[in-house]
Structure 1
C-alpha cells in the first residue's frame, strides 16, 4: 500500500491547498480499486458504488486530517473501510448464514480488466487476484462478522501490516492478529474444500467445452444432459431469492419444479463474471419481437464438472455490459 510514503501526486502542499476539482481528480484515480475493495466488504455492487461515493464525500470534508504520514491511497482505503463498517452496522448487523448471500451481486470482468490495466505500472497496488474476487470467496467473506472481515481483507488481500490495520480500527495489534486467525478459520469453514482445484478462472479448453455443453443443454432445456454435467454435491442459489439447493438431485428437482423443463424460445450469450465463466439467457417475447434478458448463470468448475451455479436476475444485465435484447433469428 506504500503506507510509509507521501503521495507524489500531492507534491509538497498536501490537501489544504487544492480545490475541490483537483481533489476529485486525485480521488477518482483510485475509484475502481476502492470499488473492488468495498465490493469485497459488502458483496453488493450497488452498495459498493454508494460507499465509494460516501468515501469521497468524507475524504473531501475531512481533508485536513490527511497529514501525509501515509499515502493518499492508504488514507482513502481507511475512509472506505470505515464507511463499509458503518453501512454494515446500519443495514446488516448480522453476517450471512447458511451458505447463501441474498444480497450478493456479480462483478463484470470488463471492469476488473480496466482496474488491472490502470494499475499495471503501479507495483505498490495489489493486483486483483482471481482467488479473492470469485463468488465463492465473496460468499465466504460475507459469513464473517464485519470487523474480522475487514481485518482479513486488509491483511490477506491488500497486504497491510498489522499495526496499520490496528490503527485504522482503533484496536491493538494483538486484537488484530486474533481477529485475523478467527477470520481465516471462518474462511476455511465456508470455502469449498476443493477450491485449489477450481479451474473456472482459466481459459482452458476443457472449461470452454464444458461451458459450451452447459449452454447448449440449457437452451434445449435438456435436463438429463444438464444433470450429467453437475457434480454430485453441486450447489445452486439465486440471490436475492432465498434458497440454497445442495446436491444434483435437489438442483434437478428445483429446475423441474420451476417450470424450466419444457421452456422454449431461449438463446444464450457466454460471458465472464468475477473471473468465472457465465452464461446469460434470453427468452423470446413475441410482442417485442426480440429475445429479452431472463437470467445469468455464473459457474464454478471443479475437476471438469460444474460444482456451483449462482443465478442472477435480469436486472444485472446492464452493468454486466450485456445486450438489452437479441434480435429475432428467423426461426421463431
Structure 2
C-alpha cells in the first residue's frame, strides 16, 4: 500500500475547496481539512483500497463538513460595530460567516467559474446541508448518484430527490461574462472609490444592486441606499484615504481594501464585485475584524 502522504497529498487542495463550498468559510475549511487528514490517518488500516482514494477521502470530508455544520448550528458571528452611525440597512443578511476564496488557491484545479462565484457559494449555505452536499458531489464533482448515496449512507432515490430540490432552489444561471468589460468596470469603480466619487459609483450600479458586508448582517439595496452608506462611511474617516489593490477572489474582480494617511496604512478587508453586463450588481465588502475601528 502507498504511504499516507502519497495517498492523500494530491487531494489536499481540492478537499479544501470542497470544504469551502460546504462551509462558506476559508477559516472553517482550514480547520476541517486538518480533521479530515487526521481521520484518514486513523482510518488508513481499514481503507484496504476497496474504493478509490479520492472517493474514500471525499466521504470523510463530506461527513466531517456535515458534522461541523450540525455542531456549530451556524451560530452568528459577533456583529462588528462601525465607528459611525450607518444608515438603516435595507435588510439583514443571513450568511454572515461567508468569506472569499483567493484565486491563487485555485491554481492547477479544474474549476468552472459558476461553481466558485459568491452567488453559488451563498446559495449553498442556504440549502439544507445534505442537499448542498448532494449538489456539490454530483453537479460540481461529477460523482454518480450511486456513489453519492454510498458517501452519504443513503439510497440513490434519496439523492435524486435531494438534487431535484437543490437545483430548484438555485437562481437562473448568470449571463456570460466578458473579461475585458469586467476589467474596465472594476478599474472605473476603483478609481471612483479611491476618490470618494460616490456619484460615479452609483452610475456603475444596476438598479437592483446591493452591498453586503460579512460578517456584519447589514445589506443595502439599490443605488440610493448604497450611496447613502458610502457617504456616511467616507464622512467618518477624516484624514484617511482609501486605497484599493487588485487581487482575485472567487474568480470575481476584487481588491484588498486599505486606508492610508501620513503615518502609514491599515488593511481592513476585501471588496469583491459581481459584474452583470457592464454594470455592478453586487459589492461584497468582507470586513477584517482585526480593524474594527474603520469602515
TM tier relative to shorter chain: 0.7 to 0.9
Q: Report which stretch shifted further, 264-273 or 139-148.
A: 264-273
CA contact (8 A) 2:271 2:285 kept: yes
Q: Are the structure 2 counterparts of residues 172 and 98 from structure 1 closer, same or farther at C-alpha, using a change threshold of 3 Å?
A: farther
Task: Determine if contact 2:96/2:215 at 8 Å carries over to the other structure.
Answer: yes
Task: Provide the secondary structure at the position in 1 that maps to 2:179.
Answer: coil
* Structure 1: gaps spanning 5 or more residues: 1-12, 117-126, 318-332
Q: Secondary structure at the match of 1:105?
A: coil
Tell me the TM-score normalized by structure 2: 0.87
Q: 1:256 aligns with which of 231, 237, 242?
A: 231
Aligned 8 A contact 2:93 2:217 in 1: no
**Aligned residue runs from structure 1 range 1-332, under 5 A:** 13=1, 22-92=3-73, 100-113=94-107, 115-116=108-109, 127-188=110-171, 193=172, 195-197=173-175, 199=177, 202-204=178-180, 206-259=181-234, 264-286=240-262, 289-314=263-288
Unmatched tracts of structure 2, length 5 or more: 77-90
Instruction: Check whether the contact 2:214–2:286 (CA below 8 A) recurs between aligned residues.
Output: yes
RMSD: 2.3
Q: How many aligned positions are there?
A: 276
Alignment partners' CA distance in 2, 1:148 and 1:316: 34
Residues 223 and 252 of structure 1 are in contact (CA less than 8 Å); yes or no, is this contact kept in structure 2? yes
1-structure distance, mates of 2:153, 2:221: 41
Secondary structure at the aligned position of 2:56 is classed as helix
Which structure has more relative contact order (CA 8 Å, sep 6+)? It is 2
Matches of 1:254 and 1:108, distance apart in 2: 27
- Pair 316,144 (structure 1): closer, same or farther in 2 beyond 3 Å: farther
Q: 1:50 to 1:299 in 2, by over 3 A?
A: same
